[in-house]
Structure 1
Amino acid sequence: MKKKKDSMTIMIVPHSDKKTLSFFLDSKKISIVKYGVIFSLFLILFLTFNLIRYINLIKSENYKLLQENQNYKEMEHKIKEYNQQKKQLEDKINEVEKKLSKIEELEGKLNQVLKDNTFKIQDYGLLQQKTTGLSSRGDINRGELLLVLNDLNEKLAEKEKNLKNLSEALMELKERVDSIPGLWPVQGEITSYFGYRKNPFGRGREFHDGIDISAAYGTKIKAAANGVVIFAGYKAGYGYTVIINHNNGIQTMYSHASKILVRKGQKVLKGQDIAAVGSTGRSTGAHLHFSLLHNGRFIDPLTYIKKQSDQD
């Protein structure tokens, strides 16, 4: 006995006087509809699952951004305090330089007095107290002159000692200030800022741990501050890189260089040439990738180093 094939008739009966519609579905069409429904259900489940994953990913990214923003605000506050201390140091240096100038002027006068055999004591206000009671003509005998000269030598020795101490203090202050990154390493336009950005090599977003400054291939890269080179070589992803250690847990990093001009362990000065602009490592073209770390953590260089317009 021949098996009867499955079939189905779907009828649509309108409430109006319009003609009743009927659709006949044989077994083949029923199978197509059945598998179509199953496929649609799986597609809906797949899309729903990925949508939930994407929403959770967005929430996670937003949370990370909020955390990073909070950390940046705290760091900016610390950097603001540090810059205020830097300004105080600079003001102190200016004050010390003025005092040094006065002392050098006084020292010059004292030296001139010692070299001048025909001087009159009354010409120098510093010695007027020592000449009280001397002849109104300004003439003094040999014994009195010897006493005044001995007093002059003592005062000069004291001034020289003070001058030396002030000079050492000034050098120490200058060293501290010059060890704070403040110089733009290369002149050029910022093409990529610090923080999350669109991945230039593919889809999605990635964290950019510095700023990219465009510059011609071979342009000399300068040290942002005094320090000691702790790395000079090839670094995965960054290409030829120089890392300089400064005071107070601060480090600066210069990447994608075409040539390195310093070696590990070398002391460098603010503004000294340390490398040349290139496009080594994970790079899209000639530029400097400049990063700044504080206690091992990447921070935005622009919150620490003055912008080019401020340095001009």
Structure 2
Amino acid sequence: MKKLTGVVAPIVTPLTEDDKIDGVSLENLCEYLIEKGITCLYPNGTTGEMMYLTTEERKQVAEVTVKTSNGRVPVFIHVGGWNQAQTIELAQHAANIGADGIGVVTPSFFKLSDQALFEFYKAVSESVPKDFSIYLYAIPQCAVNDITPELAARIAEECPNVVGIKYSYPNMSRIQQMMTIRDGEFSVLCGPDELFEVTVCAGGDGTVSGNSQCIPEHYAALWKAIQNKDYDLATRLQRRTNTLNDILCEFNNIAHYKVVLKEEKILACSAMRKPMEALTDEQTRSVMEKLNALDFHKVI
């Protein structure tokens, strides 16, 4: 079964001015990130405004991404939805269109017991082929529910196609605990960008970074430095990305991403799905001035 490594980009969902999926801009974004060295595309995640898209829109985004990648880099599609039935429908769709795997966030809004979470993931696991890779996705600061190392281990034991986890809460101790599952064979990626270097150096597999789509050359260089065991360079690159990410996350990170990608001529429009907020003209000028003042395309 396939696993994620390196820099996984949870891509934004480009929209037109009249609030439709912009397939051409989505193709442009996929091509741009593949060319820049991103190691995997991950549509329909938090950064893709997942819960504000319809099921059919999410299928459309998934299909465009898989078709555009055409096997050049893995495509893992996030399929977590508002309920179990929607999640399973999207999971089966991802498997049917030739995706390499899926990510599944915990059910959101309502607090659930570990038993309920276990039963949810077991149902999703059993709904797709046994060799189709699944990543758990925990982001308790948004989804309410968390995944403990004990729960992750139980899911991994009962569901062989659950190959790893994206853990998005900044808790390095918990991230390292996840690495002990299946005697260290359980794949672990961090969500917090600032933990990319330390996660991989501690035995993890990479990061799932929304910021990476705006500064992909920095993340590709950081991944290469880690692979080459050039830790001095890796640390300097990590600090450089941290500085740029502080700007990208100043107001609303997803809106920042769309603004930067529009300025780079990758997206035709920076519209957000309501009620998500777009940046004001003043905020747009501010973020671009700050990034340009740091010569943000220059890696080191």
Normalising by structure 2, we get a TM-score of: 0.20
- Rg: which structure is higher? 1
Higher RCO structure (Cα 8 Å, ≥6 apart)? 2
Normalising by structure 1, we get a TM-score of: 0.19
